[in-house]
């Protein structure tokens, strides 16, 4: 049997630049930063006082208020983005077989704020005062579980937890389900809400976050720049509806793009640092190209992992050179984390939306704050202003703690 083609029919997002796809994309095109002073809690004793916070989000716009109260923030974001994506796909009840629709969503951390609140109750009032919904809210599988309940998805339902590669790996695994004939439709992407006491403190003590730009938040995330000093913790969700081409065509769906390839590897080298030669990332990029049936020179744009950490950016640059060869000097590359911050488990989903919109509008998003390029980062990162140009194929890299590497490739849909 011929392997089913996988297409995208819906997208939804909640992130520091907007609570819907088009306002988010407009901010990206304008090169705006979503990084602000962190006013969610008192940061007086924290080395990092900035974050990428979701603003003007109302859970009740997307779900029943009573149900929202039973969800941690990362789940609310996942449900909200899924509602948007399913609405765009026009997948209403009756338009799909519940047994043939699945949910695979990436998440790195789960409900940190729920853990913190519950521990506070234990220490101040005793164990009997822990809120009864603590466990059902904090565990990471409750993101996809709540989405499945919302849309009566009775097919495969799972969380993928591979740190910063979670969203990309979730999409790759969702596509594999469709290609294997296990599902017709999969709601997939990533979600995260780790801008919390523990989230910021934990990343601070391993010196992963930016601390130099507390007084200039919009300039703090600066991938590939010589003066970068760490990533900016951010939150949000990016969700796509993946569908077999046959199923989408049968119902007359509008197709946003094609999911062409997926590569997944592990460095098996270090808990937090990438392989010093980027070998796992190289293999993941090559694997994605092979599955897509594409050559390096077919890639028009790479949405880089580009975290703005001293260690990641030069190693990813090196990996791109090894994976794409001479074409690395010609391909356009950018890190939209310069604008959103690093949404951890949501990054692969959010950046897949960027990838599809770049194809739609033939627009290369910028890497903002790239004022003094690092000599070790010597490729074309579309500095500071986006550019117009023909885009048919986009590669999106997600590289996570633990050595996880997830690479997805989208291409313009041609019937």
Report the number of distinct structural domains present in the chain: 1
Q: Which entry of 19, 247, 275, 342 is annotated as an active-site residue?
A: 342
Residue 153 annotated in active site: no
Beta strands in 252-354 (DSSP E): 257-266, 301-303, 332-334
pLDDT of residue 146: 98
Sign of CA dihedral 310, 376, 167, 63: positive
d(CA 48, CA 66): 34
Q: What is the CATH number of the domain that holds 222?
A: 3.40.47.10
CA angle 141, 146, 148 (to 5 degrees): 100
Q: In the predicted model, what is the mean pLDDT of residues 28-46?
A: 98
pTM of the model: 0.97
Residue 51 has pLDDT above 90, yes or no: yes
pLDDT of residue 94: 87
Residue 179 has pLDDT above 70, yes or no: yes
Tokens of 229: 């000093």
Residue 19 annotated in active site: no
CB 55 within 8 A of CB 35: no
Own/partner pairs, 40-45, CB within 8 angstroms, 24+ separation: 40/195, 40/196, 41/196, 41/197, 43/200
Residue range(s) defining the domain that contains residue 160: 1-415
pLDDT band for position 2 (cuts 50, 70, 90): confident
Residue 164 annotated in active site: yes
| Location of structure tokens 């695979």 | 104
Q: In the predicted model, what is the mean pLDDT of residues 80-101?
A: 96
Residue 244 has pLDDT above 80, yes or no: yes
> Mean pLDDT score of the chain, rounded to an integer?
97
Q: What is the pLDDT of residues 121-130, one digit of tens each?
A: 999 999 999 9
pLDDT of residue 1: 66
239 forms beta bridges with 12, 189
Q: What is the pLDDT of residues 138-171, one digit of tens each?
A: 999 999 999 999 999 999 999 999 999 999 999 9
Residue 28 has pLDDT above 70, yes or no: yes
Q: Which entry of 19, 164, 377, 404 is annotated as an active-site residue?
A: 164
Q: In the predicted model, what is the mean pLDDT of residues 361-377?
A: 98
Q: Which entry of 153, 247, 275, 305 is annotated as an active-site residue?
A: 305
pLDDT of residue 402: 95
């Amino acid at each position: 049997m011929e392997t089913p083609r996988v297409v995208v029919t819906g997208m939804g997002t909640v992130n520091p630049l907007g609570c819907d796809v088009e306002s988010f994309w407009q901010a990206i095109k304008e090169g705006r930063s979503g990084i602000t002073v962190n006013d969610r809690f008192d940061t007086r004793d924290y080395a990092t006082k900035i974050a990428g916070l979701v603003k003007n989000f109302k859970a009740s716009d997307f779900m029943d208020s009573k149900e929202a109260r039973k969800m941690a923030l990362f789940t609310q974001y996942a449900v909200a983005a899924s509602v948007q994506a399913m609405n765009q796909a026009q997948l209403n009840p009756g338009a799909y077989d519940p047994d043939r629709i699945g949910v695979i969503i990436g998440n790195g951390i789960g409900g940190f704020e729920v853990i913190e609140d519950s521990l506070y109750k234990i220490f101040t009032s005793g164990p009997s005062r822990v809120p009864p919904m603590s466990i059902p809210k904090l565990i990471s599988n409750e993101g996809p579980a709540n989405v499945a309940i919302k849309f009566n998805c009775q097919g495969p339902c799972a969380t993928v937890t591979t740190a910063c590669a979670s969203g990309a790996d979730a999409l790759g695994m969702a596509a594999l389900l469709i290609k294997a004939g296990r599902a017709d439709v999969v709601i997939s992407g990533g979600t995260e809400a780790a801008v919390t006491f523990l989230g910021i403190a934990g990343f601070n003590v391993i010196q992963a976050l930016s601390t130099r730009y507390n007084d200039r938040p919009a300039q703090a995330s600066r991938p590939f720049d010589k003066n970068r000093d760490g990533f900016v913790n951010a939150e949000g969700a990016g969700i796509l509806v993946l569908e077999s081409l046959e199923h989408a065509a049968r119902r007359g769906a509008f197709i946003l793009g094609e999911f062409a390839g997926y590569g997944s590897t592990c460095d098996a080298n270090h808990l937090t640092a990438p392989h010093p030669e980027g070998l796992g990332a190289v293999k993941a990029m090559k694997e994605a190209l092979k599955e897509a049936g594409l050559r390096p020179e077919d890639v028009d744009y790479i949405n880089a992992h580009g975290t703005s950490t001293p260690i990641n950016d030069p190693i990813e640059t090196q990996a791109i050179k090894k994976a794409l060869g001479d074409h690395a000097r010609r391909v356009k590359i950018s890190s939209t984390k310069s604008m959103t911050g690093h949404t951890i488990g949501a990054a692969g989903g959010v950046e897949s939306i960027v990838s599809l919109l770049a194809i739609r509008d033939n627009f290369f998003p910028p890497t903002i704050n790239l004022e003094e390029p690092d000599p070790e980062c010597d490729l074309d990162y579309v500095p500071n202003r986006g550019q117009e140009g023909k885009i048919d194929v986009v590669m999106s890299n997600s590289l996570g703690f633990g050595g996880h590497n997830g690479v997805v490739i989208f291409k313009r849909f041609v019937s």
